[in-house]
Amino acid sequence: MPSQEIGVPIPNIPHAVSVTLPTWEATIGYEEGEEWVTSKMNSGYPRFFIHSSIQQLCNNLTKKYGRPNERCLVFPSYKVAKRCREFIQKYSDNKSSIIRVLKLCTPPPITETEKSTRIETSIGVVFFPSNDFPLAKNYWQHSGEGISSRMSEYLLKELVQNEEVSSRKLGNLKQELQVRKIQSKSPSIRSNSSSSQHGGNEEVEREFNTFIEQKYGRVLDFKFAKDAKEILRRRICGKIDKSTNLLSEFEKNSRGKILDEDDVYLFPSGMSTIFYAHYALLKILPNKKSVCFGFPYVDTLNILRKFGPGVEFLGLGDDESLKNLQKELEHGLEIIALFCECPSNPLLKTPNLKKIKELGDKYNFAVVVDETVGNFLNIHVLPFADIICSSLTKVFSGDSNVLAGSLILNPDSKYYPKLKEFFNQDYEDLFWAEDALWLERNSRDFVERVKKIDETSLKVVELLKSNPKIDKIYYPSISSTKKYYDEIKSEDGGYGGLISFLFKDPQDGINFFNQVNLHKGPSLGTNFTLACPYAILAHYQELDEIEQWDVDRNLIRISIGLEEPEELLKVLKDSLV
C-alpha cells in the first residue's frame, strides 16, 4: 500500500528517487520550509535533496581537508568540479572568495578477486565559503552532475572507513611490535596469538554476501559494469539483443534505423544530458542565445538562462510562437539552438518538429529534443533532432532507484562531425558503475512495461473525460497538438504514461489529491502510479508568472504505473466522487 507518511522514500529503499508528500498542504509546507514537513524529510529527489550518505562524505572531507568556515560538495570528476567553481565565482556576491578544488582518487583493485568489489575512480571536491553553499547547490541541481548516493557510499568506504581501519591497524601493529620488543627481552613471556583466527569468518561472510546478492537479484559485480554500459547503449539505440541482434517490430520502429551505439552517451542524470548538450554547442558553435520552445521542466530553462549568453523563452510552444520565431529569424535573429520537450512536461504539448527542423536547417541552429516523456519506443524524433536527450531515471528504469540519462548524436546532423570531435576529446563517462548495473537490470523489460502503461493510460483518460468535475485534461491523444505527435509516433507506439488535469473547482482538486490512495511525490515514469500537484511542487515561487504559459497553479499530474487497470481505475473513481 502507498505510504501516506511525510518524508517516506518512494520506494522505501536507501536509494529511492522519489519521496512522499501525501497532501496538498504538505507540498506547500515543504515549499515554504515549514518545520512540520521539513523535519520529516530524510530523503528527496536526488538533484534537490542531497542524500544522507553524500552529506556524510562531505562532512568527513570538510573535517579533513577544509578550512574554517568552509563547506564542500563532491563531483564525479575534477573537470566537473572546476565547472562548479566557475559557476560559484560568476554568481557569488563576494568576488574575492577563495574556491578550492581538490582531486582525490580511490585505489585500483590489486587482485582478480578485488575487481568484483573495487574500482579505481577519481573525484573533484569543491571547497567554498559556507555562505556560498546555495550557489554550489544550485549548480548541483541545475547541471545534474553530482555524484550518486551509491557512489558516495563507495567513496565513504574507500576514502574514509578503510583509512580509519588502516589507522587502527597501524596502531595495533605498533602495539604488537612493542609487545614483541618486550617479549624479545623477556623469554619467559609467550604469545598465544593465531595468524589465521579471522580467515574462516571472512570467507563465511563473503559467501553470505554472495548468496544475498544472488537471492535478491542484486547485480553488484563491478567487473560487469563495462558490459552493462555497452548493453544499455545498444538497448537505447535499438540493438536490444546483444547476442543475436534480433529485434521485435516494436523495437525496430523505435529509431527508424539502427544507430551505432558509439553515438549513445550515458550520463549520471537526465538533466546532465541537457546541460552537456548546451555546453557542447556553446563550445563548437558561435556564442549566441538559445530558444526554449514550449514550457519545459524547470531546470532546462535554468540551464539556458544561467549558462551562456541567455535564452529566448517561447513558453506557449504553439504554432503562433513558431510563426513569430520564423519572422524574427527572417529579420536577422541568430540563435545557437532550439531546445524542446516532446511532448512537454506537464502540459503534454507536442511541438511541430518537422517545421522546427526545417527552420534549423535554413537558419543554422541545432535542434535538441528531450524525448523523456514520449520515450523512444512511442515516438521517433531522430530525423528532426541534432541531439536527443532523455532521462533514463524515468520509464526506462521504472524502479525509481537509480538516476541516469542518455544523449544521442544524430549521425545525419550537419553538426555531427564537430560534435563527435568535441565528444571524443571532452566527454567523460561519469555514470557510476554500480548505477549502470542496476539500470541494466531494471530496463530489461522496458518494452513490455511501456506497452502496458500506454494501454492503461488511455483508460484513465477516458475515466477523467467522463467525470463532470474535471475541467481540462492534458494528454497527447486529445491535445490540440495531436497531429504533430502522430507525425512522429512509432508504428506500434502509444501516447505515454503522463496525464495532467484540472478540476472546475480547485477545492475538488485538493480533496481528490488528499484522498486518493496513490504514491504521491516528485518524478514520473515509475512502475507504480505517482501523483503530484505539479505547479505547487515545481513552481511554487512563480505561480503567477507561469499562468501566462497556461500552467494553472491547481494542476495535478499523474504518472501511470503497472497496476492492473481495473484496480487503478477503482482507486481513482473512489476519490473522484
Q: For residue 70, give the amino acid letter.
A: E
More confident residue, 185 or 509: 509
Closest CA to 344 of 215, 480, 457: 480
pLDDT at residue number 444 = 95
Closest CA to 435 of 219, 126, 197: 219
CA distances from 218 to 151, 213, 437, 442 (A): 16, 5, 9, 11
pLDDT at residue 96 greater than cutoff 90: no
pLDDT at residue number 259 = 83
pLDDT band at 255 (very low <50, low <70, confident <90, very high): low
Q: For residue 198, give the amino acid letter.
A: H
Q: Percent of the chain at pLDDT above 70?
A: 86
pLDDT tens for 401-427 read 999 999 999 999 999 999 999 999 999
pLDDT band at 205 (very low <50, low <70, confident <90, very high): very low
DSSP strands (E only) in 400-439: 405-409
Round the average pLDDT of the chain to a whole number and report it.
89
Q: What is the mean pLDDT of residues 13-27?
A: 96
Report DSSP letters for 224-290, one per residue: GHHHHHHHHHHHHHT---TTT----HHHHTTTSSPPPGGGEEEESSHHHHHHHHHHHHHHHS-S--E
pLDDT at residue 176 greater than cutoff 50: no
pLDDT band at 125 (very low <50, low <70, confident <90, very high): very high
pLDDT tens for 100-122 read 999 999 999 999 999 999 999 99
In the chain, the domains with their CATH numbers are 52-151 (3.30.70), 224-442 (3.40.640.10), 447-576 (3.90.1150.10)
pLDDT at residue number 198 = 40
pLDDT tens for 523-573 read 999 999 999 999 999 999 999 999 999 999 999 999 999 999 999 999 999
Q: What is the mean pLDDT of residues 489-500?
A: 96
pLDDT band at 185 (very low <50, low <70, confident <90, very high): very low
More confident residue, 214 or 496: 496
Burial 551-577 (b: 16+ CB within 10 A, else e): bbbbbbbbbbbbbebeebbebbeeebe
Q: For residue 118, give the amino acid letter.
A: R
Rounded CA-CA distance 335/189 in Å is 84
pLDDT tens for 322-372 read 999 999 999 999 999 999 999 999 999 999 999 999 999 999 999 999 999
pLDDT at residue number 97 = 86
pLDDT band at 215 (very low <50, low <70, confident <90, very high): very low
Which cell is 511 given?
A: 480533496
Q: What is the pTM of this model?
A: 0.88
Interhelix angle 506-515/24-31, rounded to 10 degrees, is: 100
